[in-house]
Chains A and B, each alone.
Chain A
Amino acid sequence: MNRMFAIIEREMRKFFRSPTLMIMSLMLPILQLIIIGNAFGGKIVDTRVAVVDYDHGPQAVKLREAFDAVAANIKTFSTVDYNNEVQAREDVRTGRIDAAIIIPKQYSRRVYAQDAPKLGFVVDNSDLFTSSALEAEMQSLVDALNAPQIPNRLQKSIALEVVELYPYVNYLKYLLPMTVALAMYISVMIGGGMLYIDDKARGVHEGYLVTPITKLELVFGLNVAGAIKATLSGISIGVIGSLVAGLGVVFHPIIMLQMLSLIIAGSIAFNGMMFLLMVRVDDPLVPRAMFGVLNVLLLYPSGAMYPTVSFPRWMQWMSVIDPFTYTIHGFKSVLLKDGGWVSIQSDLLFLMIFGIATLLVATPLFKRTL
């Protein structure tokens, strides 16, 4: 056991004396949280919509007043007057403006005559986010115009009342579980993968192998050290990320304990997986080449950014055996839903079994000789 602790001591001393490793394993996830969280989480504002008014009637004026209200309040778009529909379409196509609304001739008359008045709306649907936001805004505006001035006393239409179980979750908060898991993965990849192979290439392992240390002591020493490093990264990013995302719940003692359990279980699982992948690798370029590939293969199918139910079947299978899936699900359950131990027990179980199983497979593959 003392020899195992010597390996752990060596690894931890190196970890704390390599600020580059610590900074890099924390920097990427935090940057990802801040950049992606703010880039994807914001509302679409300040787009430009052309108004081609062939009507100029009272209903067209009413419509334009509604556009002005949007521009002054939620600022989704502002309007630009065009007198030529062809030019407006061309400008949408070339990106000078984001959309164009066409108010046809006789629009006001058809509104008064209740003769199915139609507005034309030209959008650039190559940009899904902007076109969807504009369509939704325009639809709500049209719905408001369609609403009767004096509501009926008895409503026949069916209304859906949405009850939100949790407070509003912005994208920064939504990404936090992924960020913590990513920090653990990067720590394992650099600290457990790259440095492990670099040590092999430098001959450090040769130094270990001529001592009386047993295979189990060496394997467990390296893996426990790797899991500790990943746990420290997970805790650090959990705290820093919560502060960045404004998620104070992480400082609640029970949630803290649940997070810690998930971080430890996730670290064991990530480390076991990495050790299995690297156990017979000697070339220091391999873990560097695998870094990005593994990131794509493991992070994106895990449901970190998009729900797994929307994936094709083969990707759903990937997510089933992916430790990221369970780590992120557990973090979401704890941080965003306060789901308690019940909501994370299957995640904890999977991660522990996964970690132990990968270690059990990797240990016989580990060579006690060169």
Chain B
Amino acid sequence: MTAASRSIASSPDAPPPAAIAVEHIWKRYGTFEAVKDVNFSVAEGEIFGLLGPNGAGKSTLIRMMTTLIPVTAGKAVVAGHDVSKDPDDVRRAIGVIPQAMTSDQDLTVEENLSIYAKLYGVPRAERERNIAEVLEAVDLAKWRSAQTKTLSGGMRRRLEIARGLVHNPRIFFLDEPTTGLDPVSRIAVWEMLNKLKTTRNLTMLITTHYMEEADKLCDRIAIVDHGTLVALGTPVELKNSVAGANVVEVHFDRDDPAWRERLEAIDGVTSVQPESSGFYRVITQSGSRTTMQIVELAASLGETLTSLSVQNTTLDDVFIHYTGRQLRDEQVKAVFTMPPRPGAQP
């Protein structure tokens, strides 16, 4: 099934002009196909999420759109410029936050921003004003003269975001912006990105493997797996596209291979995923009715339930529905990362 056929249209109105248009894009490394025939477009002012596990092809996609790696086949147009033909025009129109935190730890917050403003060719007169504005926007104004290595992880990520905005880009690419941050810092980054979208009228493309992040932050989400776009729509549309409205999580005291079959036989259950020993996720059209039926089933067999809970469908369920496996099952790719510098904040 192609991405186009999986696309879930939500609005009957004419779509706003596309800030990003990706058409039949491919990326091959030798015989390995990292991205396969992906199509999507991102409207002006939209926050668009690429959701998928490590190695799904999200970063490859974002790197092609930001001119970091050449496109093997197909076309990507960003801010009206073809990334293969006019890479410099694309670079002037975009801000990019790479996955790794790359701010210079030996420089101050202001110096980091100033150097990037110069790299983007921001005129001297505007530079000071832009730096002050973005520092205010990311709430780092009072840390302007602090050395970057004294900042916490969340503050450094905010600095990276400020750095990507210092030349007032129209489109903002963020590659896993909250990876490695604690939950409080992560929520702070989400709030800040939402604020920036409104105040600066930014179009954002975010890659993430956090379901919650995609759900809370993105207007639309594309699920990417094995280099292919498997589903596209708003978070609500994607959740509604999964048969069954609720998820019942049940943990039996005693594991028995027959549980799965018994659960699948319950009326209204659309699928059952075994998680661990005696633990099952049951997708059903009626959470309350299925809960009752599971309790009755356990009682009739003289079995004990360790836990039982009902939840609404999550993007995790959507991911399972479209890919056949869970996002958290994916192993983290072994990549070389430089050890932190001594004296730097973790």
Flag if B338 contacts A212 (CB, 8 Å).
no
Flag if A203 contacts B98 (CB, 8 Å).
yes
Flag if A13 contacts B111 (CB, 8 Å).
yes
Q: Can you list, as one digit per residue, whether each of A1-45 has a CB less than 8 Å from chain B (1) or not (0)? A: 011011101100110011000000000000000000000000000
Task: Say whether A208 faces chain B, with CB atoms less than 8 Å apart.
Answer: yes
Task: Say whether B265 faces chain A, with CB atoms less than 8 Å apart.
Answer: no
Closest to A282 in B: B336
Task: Say whether A206 faces chain B, with CB atoms less than 8 Å apart.
Answer: yes
Q: Shortest beta-carbon distance, A204 to chain B, in Å? A: 5
Task: Say whether B121 faces chain A, with CB atoms less than 8 Å apart.
Answer: yes
Q: Shortest beta-carbon distance, B163 to chain A, in Å? A: 8
Flag if B91 contacts A212 (CB, 8 Å).
yes
Q: Which one of A14, A203, A213 lies within 8 Å of B102 (CB-CB)?
A: A203
Task: Say whether A294 faces chain B, with CB atoms less than 8 Å apart.
Answer: no
Task: Say whether B253 faces chain A, with CB atoms less than 8 Å apart.
Answer: no
- Tell me which of A6, A203, A209, A211 has the highest count of chain B C-beta atoms within 10 A of its own C-beta: A211
Flag if B68 contacts A2 (CB, 8 Å).
no
Flag if B70 contacts A369 (CB, 8 Å).
yes
Flag if B102 contacts A206 (CB, 8 Å).
yes
Flag if B100 contacts A202 (CB, 8 Å).
yes
Flag if B91 contacts A207 (CB, 8 Å).
no
Closest to B160 in A: A207
Flag if A202 contacts B102 (CB, 8 Å).
yes
CB contacts (< 8 Å) of A13 on chain B: these are: 104, 106-107, 111
For window 328-346 of chain B, which residues contact chain A by CB distance below 8 Å? 336-338
Q: Which one of A14, A206, A212, A284 lies within 8 Å of B98 (CB-CB)?
A: A206
CB contacts (< 8 Å) of B100 on chain A: these are: 202-203, 206
CB contacts (< 8 Å) of A211 on chain B: these are: 91, 116, 119-120
* CA of A9 to CA of B108, assembled, Å: 13
For window 56-97 of chain B, which residues contact chain A by CB distance below 8 Å? 63, 66-70, 88, 91-92, 94, 96
CB contacts (< 8 Å) of A201 on chain B: these are: 336-338
* CA of A201 to CA of B102, assembled, Å: 10
Q: Shortest beta-carbon distance, A317 to chain B, in Å? A: 38
Question: Given the interface contacts A10-B107, A201-B336, A203-B99, does A210 sit within 8 Å of B66 by beta carbon?
Answer: yes
CB contacts (< 8 Å) of A5 on chain B: these are: 118
Q: Which one of B67, B101, B118, B338 lies within 8 Å of A210 (CB-CB)?
A: B67
Task: Say whether B115 faces chain A, with CB atoms less than 8 Å apart.
Answer: yes
Flag if B115 contacts A6 (CB, 8 Å).
yes
Q: Which one of A14, A202, A210 lies within 8 Å of B106 (CB-CB)?
A: A14
* CA of A198 to CA of B104, assembled, Å: 12
Q: Shortest beta-carbon distance, B180 to chain A, in Å? A: 13
Question: Given the interface contacts A6-B115, A369-B68, does A14 sit within 8 Å of B121 by beta carbon?
Answer: no
CB contacts (< 8 Å) of B66 on chain A: these are: 210
Flag if A209 contacts B119 (CB, 8 Å).
no
Q: Which one of A9, A17, A209, A284 lies within 8 Å of B68 (CB-CB)?
A: A209
Q: Shortest beta-carbon distance, A5 to chain B, in Å? A: 7
Q: B interface, by DSSP: helix, strand, loop or mixed?
A: loop
Interface size class of A (residues with CB under 8 A): 20 to 34
Flag if B119 contacts A14 (CB, 8 Å).
no
Number of A-B contacts (CB under 8 A): 80
Flag if B121 contacts A207 (CB, 8 Å).
no
Q: Can you list, as one digit per residue, whether each of A141-160 has a CB less than 8 Å from chain B (1) or not (0)? A: 00000000000000000000
Q: Shortest beta-carbon distance, B184 to chain A, in Å? A: 25
For window 350-370 of chain A, which residues contact chain B by CB distance below 8 Å? 369-370
Flag if A210 contacts B96 (CB, 8 Å).
yes
Flag if A3 contacts B104 (CB, 8 Å).
no
Q: Shortest beta-carbon distance, B138 to chain A, in Å? A: 17
* CA of A7 to CA of B119, assembled, Å: 8
Question: Given the interface contacts A14-B106, A209-B68, A369-B68, does A2 sit within 8 Å of B118 by beta carbon?
Answer: yes
CB contacts (< 8 Å) of A212 on chain B: these are: 88, 91-92, 119-121
Q: Can you list, as one digit per residue, whether each of B276-301 has a CB less than 8 Å from chain A (1) or not (0)? A: 00000000000000000000000000
CB contacts (< 8 Å) of A213 on chain B: these are: 119
* CA of A204 to CA of B69, assembled, Å: 16
Question: Given the interface contacts A209-B68, A212-B88, A370-B68, does A6 sit within 8 Å of B106 by beta carbon?
Answer: no
For window 155-212 of chain A, which residues contact chain B by CB distance below 8 Å? 198, 201-204, 206-212
Q: Shortest beta-carbon distance, B92 to chain A, in Å? A: 5
CB contacts (< 8 Å) of B106 on chain A: these are: 13-14, 17-18
Q: Shortest beta-carbon distance, B107 to chain A, in Å? A: 6
Q: Shortest beta-carbon distance, B14 to chain A, in Å? A: 32
For window 108-127 of chain B, which residues contact chain A by CB distance below 8 Å? 111, 115-116, 118-121
Flag if A204 contacts B120 (CB, 8 Å).
no
Q: Which one of B69, B121, B163, B337 lies within 8 Å of A2 (CB-CB)?
A: B121
* CA of A210 to CA of B111, assembled, Å: 19
Flag if A210 contacts B91 (CB, 8 Å).
yes
* CA of A94 to CA of B78, assembled, Å: 82
* CA of A5 to CA of B124, assembled, Å: 14
CB contacts (< 8 Å) of A207 on chain B: these are: 96, 98, 102, 116, 163
* CA of A13 to CA of B68, assembled, Å: 26
CB contacts (< 8 Å) of B94 on chain A: these are: 210
CB contacts (< 8 Å) of A9 on chain B: these are: 115, 118
* CA of A276 to CA of B332, assembled, Å: 34
Q: Which one of B88, B115, B163 lies within 8 Å of A10 (CB-CB)?
A: B115
Q: A3-B118, A203-B99 are in contact. List 10 more A-B contacts (CB 8 A).
A: A2-B118, A6-B119, A14-B106, A201-B338, A202-B102, A203-B102, A207-B102, A208-B119, A210-B94, A283-B336
Interface CB pairs A-B, < 8 A, 29: A5-B118, A6-B115, A10-B115, A13-B104, A13-B107, A13-B111, A14-B104, A14-B107, A198-B338, A201-B336, A201-B337, A201-B338, A202-B100, A203-B100, A206-B102, A207-B98, A207-B163, A209-B67, A209-B68, A210-B66, A210-B68, A210-B94, A212-B88, A212-B119, A212-B120, A212-B121, A213-B119, A369-B69, A370-B63
